[in-house]
Chain A
């Protein structure tokens, strides 16, 4: 049962995060008049449609106007545009949560739909693909490098590596991306400068997959380069702390081979705090993904952010903000479960 309690507590906190973001979004939209504009646009869109269809039957312009005015008032009441913005908050929350955000102004989905939900959702998998691949590579690299540095703490290698890791932390993803484009795409012409597939994608499953890999190489390298430094550094510190625990000397004294001690007595024990730090780094990789996608024109949700900002398409931005928070929370919660599986101390207490 304590397991459930702990999970429930974390779940509640994360739901709280979602709630705060939601309230922040809708209150900001309401107070600044953005929601007003969005709803008015939706209403006038409807009225325009109505005018066209009514114009066929009602010939008298005066009467037409009367009917339309009546309908407009109805619509305004329906959207609660006749009341101050704060009365509309619950309705706005519902709209955001259900992705009922109407039409985007200029941004379109790949097959031309202007529904905000369509635009955002079709890019979800592209972002997840990119971020997951990069995270997995980052974690593996961190796990390979961190413990090695910890075992040589204080050495020249350790100090030089720490400088390099600091550099990696200070590297902004977008600049790294630009650097790689200039180097490997513009100068050496080894990789494409952006996109997900060639202009005319090759036929056949494997060829298509290779094309995807070829395009994904630079964005993935960018994300890995900017994040593995702090990952390795954190793992180094965790391993260093765990290696000083007395059960590690007991493990050694028991005559266990060094590699087994490292794996079972240090890494395995440090795994839970390492996962925690990965959790905390997650928000950072979302930011990194937004910028990396932008640089490499990767058709994910991050690039969509840039396109929506450039086109000043507020409903898409609202949807993206909510969706990124949602992804973040789902990812956090899964890691939370993972953490519980790793650490028996918490699992049973």
Chain B
């Protein structure tokens, strides 16, 4: 049967259509990820704790606020590489960075932090000031920092914070504590010693002293402006990046895990990986299986016996235990998983293909081409192959979810390839750290659901292919 006809039958059924739709989705997301993500995403980002240091841990997705009714602070990172404005002055310029924050949450932030990257200066070290303009019109000085001056023998221009940024955890910083205490005294007339305010910084920054008893501060919603002022003394002086982090208790589209990793990015990266595992395994398995099957059925005799006996044995090896053993001993490599899946996967197909070849081998078509003097190879791969092609295509689609599920299962047992994050691994890290028992559903349910989606796609396609393979079911 020709490919267009096959496609037509496939798309005529609901299952086939749904499967094809899912497949398009998988491919589209995978293409997006491949074009946007770096190839070594696993090592460089996913498994690099420094990248995720600022993120809240175990934070549910932002949209869960809708269901809980309480507006949780959405984790937000404000970053700028270029100043919003430059105010020229005498002998010095002031670089101003402003960020607008519309605070509309029912709770104070979990923390706030501030970071400076890549500062270069020529003569005097720049002075950086962090201010907060509040909706009640009050202005709060949070933090002031003077970049370390030139050391003896240091060359001009002087670079600071190139390798690691200057990062201040504002919620726990002692100078911030005294700044906040000063603010309270000046604006609200409250005389509190800084040490008593420890752990309350977020509640003061985004709040006002509470009216009712028992509560010391109430959340103040409204428009805040975060202002960073940097005084520089030379036109060449520069600041690479200014970062202000509003630590939230909910995060992004899919939440975070115990390391603060943005689960959405990991889940997205899983798309091309799953597709790759499934397709590479299925395609190679099918090629080998078909070739051996046709060879075995067509040649007969000793070749047939040897191939069939080996197939009988290999096809009967229980896969998961062997997979666990080999990966454990030989190392956690994705390509090794694929290789093993192929080694134990092809014999099943070979047995099936052989039986079909035997049917066609005695068919009139093949008999007559043989009589016409066609070479055995030509008969095998032109005439016989084309007869069984739709069946083989269906088998190939059928193998795909098996490979995806096998890899996911293996990853779940802690034997995933650490350099490539997969859905199974995300789930495993949730399971092994007890996320299941803590109810962190956003960590453990989505990766499994995606595995199901990917596997379903191919199962549906297989079901849609059924009428192609089994004409009796054609309606």
Binding site for B on A (CB under 8 A): 13-14, 16-17, 20-21, 24-25, 28-29, 32, 34, 154, 159, 162-163, 166-167, 169-175, 178-179, 181-182, 186-187, 193, 244, 283, 286-287, 290-291, 294-295, 305-306, 309-310, 314, 317-318, 320-321, 324-325, 328, 332
Contacts and interface: CB of A to CB of B under 8 A. Distances in A.
B320 interface: yes
B463 A170 contact: no
Contacts of A178: 427, 431, 436, 444-445, 448
Nearest to A14: B316
B455 interface: yes
Given A34-B329, A314-B329, 11 more contacts: A13-B309, A16-B313, A32-B330, A170-B459, A174-B409, A179-B445, A283-B317, A290-B409, A309-B328, A320-B321, A321-B321
A181 to B, nearest CB: 5
Interface stretch (B258-266, B371-379, B411-419): B411-419
Given A17-B313, A28-B326, A178-B431, A283 B459 contact: no
A324 B401 CA distance: 23
B294 to A, nearest CB: 22
B452 A193 contact: no
B405 A172 contact: yes
Interface string B212-231: 00000000000000000000
Given A28-B329, A175-B451, A290-B320, A182 B414 contact: no
A305 B324 contact: yes
Contacts of A34: 329
A324 B321 contact: yes
Q: How large is the interface on B (under 10, 10 to 19, 20 to 34, 35 or more residues)?
A: 35 or more
A181 B322 CA distance: 28
Contacts of A32: 329-330
Contacts of B472: 244
B140 to A, nearest CB: 42
Contact of B413 (A16, A182, A291): A291
Which 7 pairs of residues, A with B, have the shortest CB-CB distance?
Answer: A175-B448, A170-B455, A287-B320, A324-B321, A321-B325, A166-B459, A170-B456
Interface in B373-428: 401, 405-406, 408-409, 412-415, 427
B319 interface: yes
B314 interface: yes
Given A172-B405, A172-B408, A310-B414, A25 B325 contact: yes
A315 B186 CA distance: 70
B401 A290 contact: no
Contacts of B436: 178, 181-182, 186, 193
B439 interface: yes
Interface in B424-475: 427, 431-432, 436-437, 439, 441, 444-445, 447-449, 451-452, 455-456, 459-460, 463, 472, 475
Given A28-B330, A32-B329, A186-B439, A166 B456 contact: yes
11 contacts: A28-B326, A28-B329, A28-B330, A162-B15, A162-B463, A174-B427, A175-B447, A178-B427, A283-B316, A305-B413, A309-B413
B312 interface: yes
Query: Which of A159, A290, A295, A318 has most chain B Cβ within 10 Å?
Result: A290
B452 A167 contact: yes
Nearest to A321: B325
A16 B312 CA distance: 9
A4 B314 CA distance: 23
Contact of B324 (A173, A181, A193, A321): A321
A21 B409 contact: no
Contacts of B413: 290-291, 294, 305-306, 309
Contacts of A29: 329
Contact of A182 (B309, B313, B439, B460): B439
Contact of A287 (B329, B409, B456): B409
Interface of B: 14-15, 18, 309, 312-314, 316-322, 324-326, 328-330, 401, 405-406, 408-409, 412-415, 427, 431-432, 436-437, 439, 441, 444-445, 447-449, 451-452, 455-456, 459-460, 463, 472, 475
B452 A175 contact: yes
Contacts of A321: 321-322, 324-325
Contacts of B312: 13, 16
Nearest to A306: B413
A181 B441 CA distance: 10
Given A166-B459, A317-B328, A179 B15 contact: no
Contact of B427 (A175, A283, A318): A175
A34 B328 CA distance: 11
A294 to B, nearest CB: 7
A321 B324 CA distance: 8
Nearest to A24: B322
Contact of A306 (B326, B414, B451, B475): B414
B380 to A, nearest CB: 27
A314 B413 CA distance: 15
A317 B325 CA distance: 7
A172 B450 CA distance: 11
A174 B416 CA distance: 15
A277 B325 CA distance: 26
Contacts of B456: 166-167, 170
B460 A166 contact: yes
B412 A291 contact: yes
Contact of A295 (B405, B431, B447): B431
A221 B312 CA distance: 32
A29 B448 CA distance: 33
B319 A283 contact: yes
A24 B325 CA distance: 10
Contacts of B15: 159, 162-163, 166
Nearest to A295: B431
A173 B406 CA distance: 11
Contacts of B316: 13-14, 17, 283, 332
Contacts of B408: 172
B24 to A, nearest CB: 18
A283 B344 CA distance: 12
Contacts of B412: 172, 174, 291, 294
Nearest to B450: A175
A16 B328 CA distance: 24
Nearest to A290: B320
Given A166-B456, A172-B409, A193-B437, A21 B317 contact: yes
Nearest to A163: B15
A253 B406 CA distance: 48
B324 A20 contact: no
